[in-house]
A and B are shown apart, each in its own frame.
Chain A
């Protein structure tokens, strides 16, 4: 058990995973309460376009992914918010697929072979570098600061947005800001669990937290603790059985979720 902490890549993995768990615990409950789980999925998949562009331009794929995911958040938010005939799930579908398509196109146009492409799709927490840890930490701090500043506004938005409009709360802008925070969280999680599994880590800890805690703050604290536990447990299990880390973390979380659902029934 102790020996796995001797490796620097393991320590980086645990640090990155723990920071990400804090981020997921805070943003996840807003995703659940505002019912934007699948917008989050759409944002994550659109980010693959950025990963592809990063390969094509031979820069850090995560930086390009930030641009793509934020653009997807604003795009889906604006298109489905306006009085157009496009519903939210239609907008999600369009962005989801076209982001993936762009990514595939860019990768095929890139010179050479993309060996770690799979890491971006399915995550590889063991490949997290010190630079990645810094990026994850910065994005997490920014999100925590925004939630702390706008705690009461986000509560009104999540509970009763039509009342918020009547009170003069900038509901539309807040909704877009929330989607942008989701977009940045998605980028943080790409390295850890991969694009395809992102929504699991964004939602499962908070979903379990909600089953057992009553207040928003308690749910956040509980889901942070759960998230850290899932990362640790997933890593240890994947190390021992030599299986993919991202999938193991998610399956640990999912198993806990099902157990918790059965217990709290």
Chain B
């Protein structure tokens, strides 16, 4: 579905991504981990076509990322919004239909139905008329997932979706993502390695370069090379996975 070939991204003179190669297949649930500033978000933005490659190429569904954007759902990194913003949950979800509707046109009843369906999918249909600011962090993220889902995407790109969710809600949230993965391909950026291991089926580590073996396994050296420091290799998913014996 997605192929990234020899991708280089630079901001001015700084190299953000160096010779990244990545193939994402249908039904993958790919976890992108790596240190802060390692280029995880940049890679997602390149897949969305929001950042132009300096070298190399990105193909999504066999076409360039911008043309594929209508078939992708995106949950950007949580940006603080005004908690008093006068907008209901349903209106927020409808924003995700913009790519289908285009400029100047009003949302149709079909759009509204799609919004309600997306809300049902994330178990938030009872809150359709609630103001977004009065929801908890976990509920808000569910609404933003619904906004990404409402355009009926085949590929879902989630950037740190679990930030701002308390740990009890996180478990349910990852459960929801696993359920969604039954029909959509998901790429999830996260710095929470243990959480990633508990729900993804493939994992890649980004720190300028990409460490990836098209599986959930990462060679012991990969993560340490990526993070440039020893990393605690216990994943706290169920069942617990120990990736490498402790010294």
Q: List residues of A whose CB falls within 8 A of some B CB.
A: 29, 33, 149-153, 155-156, 158-160, 162-170, 210, 213-216, 219
Contact = CB atoms under 8 A, between A and B. Distances in A.
B82 A33 contact: yes
A163 B95 contact: yes
A150 B92 CA distance: 16
B95 A155 contact: yes
Nearest to A216: B86
B88 A215 contact: yes
A213 B88 CA distance: 13
22 contacts: A149-B104, A150-B103, A152-B107, A155-B95, A159-B81, A159-B85, A159-B87, A159-B95, A160-B79, A162-B79, A163-B95, A165-B50, A167-B74, A167-B95, A167-B96, A167-B99, A168-B69, A168-B99, A210-B84, A210-B86, A215-B86, A216-B86
Interface residues of B, number: 28
B226 interface: no
A151 B91 CA distance: 12
Interface in B89-129: 91-92, 94-96, 98-99, 101, 103-104, 106-107
B48 interface: yes
A219 B50 contact: no
Given A168-B69, A213-B86, A156 B76 contact: no
B92 A166 contact: no
B79 A156 contact: no
A155 B131 contact: no
A29 B85 CA distance: 11
A222 to B, nearest CB: 11
Most chain B CB atoms below 10 A, which of A33, A166, A170, A210: A166
A159 B131 CA distance: 13
B106 A155 contact: no
Contacts of B91: 155
A53 to B, nearest CB: 35
Interface string B18-61: 00000000000000000000000000000010100000000000
A152 B82 contact: no
Given A152-B98, A153-B98, 4 more contacts: A159-B95, A167-B96, A167-B98, A210-B84
A151 B95 CA distance: 11
Given A210-B84, A210-B86, A213-B86, A152 B94 contact: yes
Nearest to B96: A167
A155 B81 CA distance: 13
A149 B101 CA distance: 13
A164 B50 CA distance: 11
A152 B95 contact: yes
Nearest to B45: A166
A150 B105 CA distance: 8
Most chain B CB atoms below 10 A, which of A33, A151, A152, A210: A152
Contacts of B104: 149-150
Contacts of A156: 95, 98
Contact of A160 (B48, B81, B101): B81
Nearest to A153: B103
Nearest to B130: A214
A219 B91 CA distance: 16
* 3 A-B pairs with the lowest CB-CB distances in the bound complex, closest first: A156-B95, A166-B74, A167-B98
A164 B79 CA distance: 13
Contacts of A216: 86-87
Nearest to B99: A167
A155 B92 CA distance: 9
B152 to A, nearest CB: 14
B124 to A, nearest CB: 17
Contacts of B99: 167-168
Contacts of A158: 85
Nearest to A156: B95
Nearest to B88: A215
Nearest to A149: B104
A149 B104 CA distance: 5
Contacts of B147: 163
B106 A219 contact: no
Contact of A159 (B76, B92, B106): B92
Contact of A214 (B86, B95, B103): B86
